[in-house]
Amino acid sequence: MALWFRESASPAHRLEWKIRQELYSGQSPFQSIQVLDTEQFGPSLVLDGIMQTTTGDEFIYHEMLAYVPLLAHPHPRRVLIIGGGDGGLAREVLKVPGVEEVVLVEIDPVVVEVARRFLPQHTVALDDPRLTLIHADGAAYLTDQKTEPFDVILVDSTDPEGDGPGTVLYTPAFHQALYEGLADDGLYVQQTGAAFYNPEVVEQVSHSVVTRFPLCRVYWCTVPTYPGALFTFTSGSKRYDIQKPSTPLTWPTRWYTPQIHQLAFALPPYLSQRLPET
Ligand code: SAM
């Protein structure tokens, strides 16, 4: 009999993936971790029962989280990634010309170990000499480590679910720490989930960001794996308009184009009416 992995998008809407086999299942101090070999998307990472990233469609999310901010910032030399232990985002960030240093702060070492074993397409850049991997809570790292400011900070975290490790990354205190951790012309982006089902996440984050950053913008992409059609990202910028690419794209991509970059900021009223005036 076929095996299916099920995820609830809402109490009344489910998504299902047909799976060939479970490649890994375990419990870390932070979350339950599974790697499922799905028939449609190949090896896929599931944390606390939520599909996080699949080999088949990860390029969409990772290109949009990396390239929109990094090509809007004219010289993104020093980049901080919070979360992102699967390595897919770091792989894209390290393709951008001028990026000299990437600090990746992932709370859960088991995610990195499991990704290295089962998601090699994601982890190809984790041993790049420009990358420093730190296992810590991203919020504590920003508050406690008074390091050189970052040009760009990218938050590739799990959703704010109960007492899960990602919840702290959606609080006003974290947005203040982000602001203080950025250079005077720095900018940041974080994933804010599926607006159709959880509009309160993008709403609360953007209201928190707009009180701290001169520029706050929301953009989106569509990822087959994520429910609700529009998957959102929220950004705060101290100087540069993240809607405008300023660096030319000189390498092949599968989703991102400069035109998609700009179109991604067009928001439907069901979403824009919940957001602050900017
Ligand atoms: N792309 C996925 C999505 O949006 O569904 C998320 C990728 S998943 C690799 C997110 C990672 O964030 C997980 O590995 C998790 O351990 C990490 N994470 C969650 N909370 C964190 C925190 N407070 N500090 C650092 N990493 C955190």
- Tens of pLDDT along the chain (278 residues)? 789 999 999 999 999 999 999 999 999 999 999 999 999 999 999 999 999 999 999 999 999 999 999 999 999 999 999 999 999 999 999 999 999 999 999 999 999 999 999 999 999 999 999 999 999 999 999 999 778 999 999 999 999 988 899 999 999 999 999 999 999 999 999 999 999 999 999 999 999 999 999 999 999 999 999 999 999 999 999 999 999 999 999 999 999 999 999 999 999 999 999 999 87
Confirm if 85 and 135 have CB atoms less than 8 A apart.
no
Q: Closest ligand 1 atom, CA of 115?
A: 9
Question: Tokens in use for 114?
Answer: 């499991």
pLDDT of amino acid 26: 98
Instruction: Fill in the DSSP letter of residue 273.
Output: T
CA distance 214 to 237: 7
CB crowding 61-88: b at 16 or more within 10 Å, else e: bbbbbbbbbbbbbeebebbbbbbbbbbb
Q: Is residue 84 domain-shared with residue 143, that is, in the same domain?
A: yes
- In a mutational test of the pocket of ligand 1, which residue from 35, 51, 93, 107 has the highest number of ligand atoms less than 8 Å from its CB? 107
Sequence-separated (6 or more) residues with CB below 8 Å from residue 144: none
Q: Rounded to the nearest whole angstrom, what is the distance from the C-alpha of residue 198 to the centroid of ligand 1?
A: 18
Q: Is residue 77 domain-shared with residue 193, that is, in the same domain?
A: yes
CATH number for the domain spanning 105: value is 3.40.50.150
CA distance 96 to 79: 11
DSSP assignments along 107-152, one per residue: S-HHHHHHHHHH-HHHHTTTT-TTEEEE-S-HHHHHHH---SPEEE
Q: Closest ligand 1 atom, CA of 141?
A: 24
Domain encompassing residue 24: 3-54
- In a mutational test of the pocket of ligand 1, which residue from 41, 61, 106 has the highest number of ligand atoms less than 8 Å from its CB? 106
pLDDT of amino acid 277: 87
Is residue 86 in a domain?
Answer: yes
Q: Rounded to the nearest whole angstrom, what is the distance from the C-alpha of residue 52 to the centroid of ligand 1?
A: 9
Annotation marks residue 163 as catalytic:
no
Q: Closest ligand 1 atom, CA of 89?
A: 1
CATH number for the domain spanning 21: value is 2.30.140.10
CA distance 227 to 137: 27
Please pick, among 156, 163, 184, 241, the residue that the annotation labels catalytic: 156
Instruction: Fill in the DSSP letter of residue 138.
Output: H
pLDDT of amino acid 162: 85
Question: Tokens in use for 113?
Answer: 């170990």
Q: Is residue 41 domain-shared with residue 64, that is, in the same domain?
A: no
Which residue, 201, 235, 207, 200, is CA-closest to 73? 235
Is residue 278 in a domain?
Answer: no
Instruction: Fill in the DSSP letter of residue 73.
Output: S
Q: Is residue 191 domain-shared with residue 229, that is, in the same domain?
A: yes
Q: Is 157 in the pocket of ligand 1 (CB under 6 A)?
A: yes
Q: Is 86 in the pocket of ligand 1 (CB under 6 A)?
A: yes
Q: Closest ligand 1 atom, CA of 226?
A: 5
Is residue 277 in a domain?
Answer: no
pLDDT of amino acid 163: 85
Q: Is residue 67 domain-shared with residue 199, that is, in the same domain?
A: yes
Give the closest residue (by CA) to ligand 1 atom 9. Answer: 84
- In a mutational test of the pocket of ligand 1, which residue from 58, 86, 157 has the highest number of ligand atoms less than 8 Å from its CB? 157
pLDDT of amino acid 147: 82
Q: Is 137 in the pocket of ligand 1 (CB under 6 A)?
A: yes
Q: Is 106 in the pocket of ligand 1 (CB under 6 A)?
A: yes
CA distance 190 to 10: 22
CA distance 214 to 193: 23
Q: Closest ligand 1 atom, CA of 139?
A: 23
Q: ipTM of this model?
A: 0.98
Report strand pairing: 231-237 vs 150-156: unpaired
Which residue, 205, 206, 222, 209, is CA-closest to 182? 209
Report the domain count for the chain.
Answer: 2
pLDDT of amino acid 177: 97
Q: Is residue 13 domain-shared with residue 74, that is, in the same domain?
A: no
Q: Is 82 in the pocket of ligand 1 (CB under 6 A)?
A: yes
Q: In what order do the strands lie in the sheet with 42-47?
A: 3-10, 13-27, 32-38, 42-47, 50-54
Q: Is residue 40 domain-shared with residue 176, that is, in the same domain?
A: no
Whether residue 8 is annotated as binding a ligand: the answer is: no
Q: Is residue 132 domain-shared with residue 28, that is, in the same domain?
A: no
Whether residue 185 is annotated as binding a ligand: the answer is: no
Q: What is the largest CA-CA distance in the chain?
A: 58
Q: Is residue 21 domain-shared with residue 80, that is, in the same domain?
A: no
pLDDT of amino acid 197: 94
Whether residue 157 is annotated as binding a ligand: the answer is: yes
